[in-house]
Amino acid sequence: MKILQEIDKNICEYAISDKGIGFPLLVDLPHGGRIYPDDFGFSCPRRALELCEENYVDELITRPSLMIGGTVLKANFPRTYVDLNRSMDDIDQLLFDAPWEKPITPKGRSVHGHGIVMRLIRAGEPIYSRTLSHTEVQNRIETYYVPYHNVLGYLSDHILDKFGVVYHLNCHSMPSSIVANSFPQMQPDIIIGDLDGRSCNLDFRTYLVNGFKDMGYRVAVNHLYKGAEIINRYGQPAWNRNSLQIEINRALFQDEKTGQKNRNFSYFASDIEKLVISIKNYTPQKP
- The Cα–Cα gap between 159 and 262 comes to 35
Cα of 261 vs its chain's centroid, Å: 19
Domains along the sequence of the chain with CATH: 12-37+46-78+134-281 (3.40.630.40)
What's at 168, amino acid-wise?
H
Task: Quick: pLDDT tens for 206-250.
Answer: 999 999 999 999 999 999 999 999 999 999 999 999 999 999 999
pLDDT above 80 (res 17): yes
Cα of 162 vs its chain's centroid, Å: 24
Percent of residues, the chain, with pLDDT higher than 90: 92
Closest to 108 (Cα-Cα) out of 120, 130, 91: 91
- The Cα–Cα gap between 284 and 287 comes to 9
For residue 2, name the pLDDT band (cuts at 50, 70, 90).
Answer: confident
Task: Quick: pLDDT tens for 68-104.
Answer: 999 999 999 999 999 999 999 999 999 999 999 999 9
- The Cα–Cα gap between 204 and 69 comes to 18
pTM of the model: 0.96
